[in-house]
Amino acid sequence: MESDIVHHNRKIVLAIMRKYPGLIPGPQTLIGFQKPYWQYGNVINGKKQIDPVLHFGCFVLGFQRWDIVDYVNNNMKMKPEVAESFIMEDNLRLNDISWTLAEQLYTMTGYKSIFALSGSDANEGAIKLASAYQKQLGQDKRQKIVCFENSYHGSTFLNYSMGDSLFEDPFYTLKRYDQVIRLKRNFEIKDTNWDEVMCVMVETCSYGHGLEPNSKEFWSKIAQLQEQGVIVIVDDIFMGGGKTGTFVGWRNLPVMPDIFTMGKAITGGYYPLSITLYGPKVDEVLPNDFNWEHGFTYNYSLPGILACKRYIDILHDEKPFEEHDTVVATATKIFEDAGYKIKGQFGTLFDIQRGEENKFFILPINATDEYFAVLKEQIK
């Protein structure tokens, strides 16, 4: 039974909701207090259900990895250092765990890291780095940012300028940032003045309008632009963290980015963290006294950094990537046996259709026999 206090507070919340429909803008549904759940979704009327997208692709190990939560809680007495050093000193001073994670990521990827909170600010940080790089080379004329149709890079004004939805929404009157050029994926290099382009940003695989892996011809053009001085940024936020069978989602692409971004799954889903990672080409150009003007109050957030450290340790210890091909093959058979056509597939992401019914799934990278049994029952 609910305690008197909980019952009283719930009555207050319900009264407020009725008096002020919408504590945030837009339609909402009050789902009440925490419902029962299992490793991969809710339990409804005693029956296990799968969360088909694992909360925006973040909880790729499932929803009950208390070892990540415990690791964070047990280490949260460490004092953050970043904010103090921003104000009081000339150099950024990191605590041990931030430094350790940065070194670990460098060993894994060969890229240096800047920690942030969301994919949106990681992507904006990537664009600022590209701008700083071009400035150091005296390429001030390179101001344009190129992106591609059917993309999603975040929810800030600049990120939305590179995507689709906000500027097609009748509730908003905003105009796109005028330095953004949006191209079709079958673009021709000769149709754009690339001498004015600072950077090109592209997702590891587009997913906003169905899974759309880019063609070899597309990536060949991106490589040509990279050789012409355009900084290539790969947005790996949605696809990274393990969904492709590697921690870095773009690893099997034919282009090595100058800068890439990660987020979502990199903490197992439990705490917010994003990362802007930059390679030797950018690093060698930036001066030693480079001033990183992209600080937010909770950048270098300790819970997120701890969670990412623990998540990477889990990947190393439990080796889920060894089962990647088996997980994908098992799901493929289940979908096909249930009469679904696989419209698109990239790593553990599936876009499937049966008649007029369309579904999108992100498989857990550690999917168990029980997960597949529930999946089979849920889609039959």
Domains present along the chain, CATH in parentheses: 1-36 (no CATH), 69-318 (3.40.640.10), 321-380 (3.30.920)
Mean pLDDT of 152-165: 82
CA dihedral over 227, 229, 235, 241, signed as positive or negative: positive
pLDDT value of residue 128: 95
Phi, psi of 208 (to 5 degrees): -65, -30
Q: Is residue 233 scored above 90 in pLDDT?
A: yes
Which pairing describes strands 41-44 and 37-38: parallel, antiparallel, or unpaired?
A: antiparallel
Q: How far apart are CA 182 and CA 149, in angstroms?
A: 6
pLDDT value of residue 364: 98
**Helices marked H in the chain — which ranges?**
4-19, 54-57, 66-75, 82-88, 96-109, 119-136, 157-161, 216-227, 280-285, 302-318, 324-337, 369-379
pLDDT value of residue 301: 86
Q: Is residue 96 scored above 90 in pLDDT?
A: no
Mean pLDDT of 310-317: 98
pLDDT value of residue 107: 97
pLDDT value of residue 297: 79
Q: Left if phi > 0, otherwise alpha if psi is -120 to 50, otherwise beta: which for 154?
A: left
Q: Which of 73-82, 86-95, 335-344 has the weakest average pLDDT?
A: 86-95
C-alpha 307, offset from chain centre: 15
Q: How confident is the model at residue 25 (pLDDT cuts 50, 70, 90)?
A: low
Q: Is residue 228 scored above 80 in pLDDT?
A: yes
Mean pLDDT of 235-263: 97
Residue, of 217 and 177, whose pLDDT is higher = 217
Q: Which residue has the tokens 């210890």?
A: 317
pLDDT value of residue 156: 85
pLDDT value of residue 85: 55
Please list the residues that pair with 276 across neighbouring strands.
114, 261
Rounded to two decimals, the pTM is 0.89
Q: Which of 171-185, 243-257, 317-331 has the weakest average pLDDT?
A: 171-185
Q: How confident is the model at residue 24 (pLDDT cuts 50, 70, 90)?
A: low
Phi, psi of 71 (to 5 degrees): -60, -45
Q: Which of 27-41, 186-200, 258-272, 358-372 has the weakest average pLDDT?
A: 27-41
Q: What single-letter amino acid sits at 299? A: N
Q: How far apart are CA 302 and CA 296, in angstroms?
A: 13
Q: Is residue 28 scored above 70 in pLDDT?
A: no
Neighbours of 187 (CB within 10 A): 16
Mean pLDDT of 88-117: 84
Residue, of 4 and 234, whose pLDDT is higher = 234
Mean pLDDT of 334-360: 96
Long-range CB contacts (within 8 A, 24+) of 326-333: 327/363, 327/364, 327/365, 327/367, 328/363, 330/367, 330/372, 331/361, 331/363, 331/367, 331/372, 331/375
Q: How confident is the model at residue 98 (pLDDT cuts 50, 70, 90)?
A: confident
Indicate the average pLDDT of the chain. 88
Helix axes 369-379, 324-337, angle to 10 degrees: 20
pLDDT value of residue 94: 67
As a whole-number percent, the residues of the chain with pLDDT over 70 amount to: 84
Q: How confident is the model at residue 93 (pLDDT cuts 50, 70, 90)?
A: low
pLDDT tens digit string along 53-67?
Answer: 999 999 999 999 999
Q: Residues in the chain, how many?
A: 380
Residues 6+ apart with CB under 8 A from 76: 302, 303, 306
Q: Is residue 11 scored above 60 in pLDDT?
A: no
Q: Which residue has the tokens 């950024």?
A: 92
Mean pLDDT of 193-217: 92
Q: Is residue 342 scored above 90 in pLDDT?
A: yes
Residue 208 half-sphere exposure, CB side, CA atoms within 13 Å? 15
Q: How far apart are CA 35 and CA 43, in angstroms?
A: 7
What is the residue-wise DSSP string for 191-222?
A: GS-GGGEEEEEEESSB-BTB-BPPPHHHHHHH
pLDDT value of residue 365: 98
Q: In whole angstroms, how far apart are CA 27 and each of 20, 155, 156, 199, 307? A: 12, 19, 21, 38, 33
pLDDT value of residue 13: 47
Residues 6+ apart with CB under 8 A from 122: 114, 116, 237, 261, 262, 263, 274, 275, 276
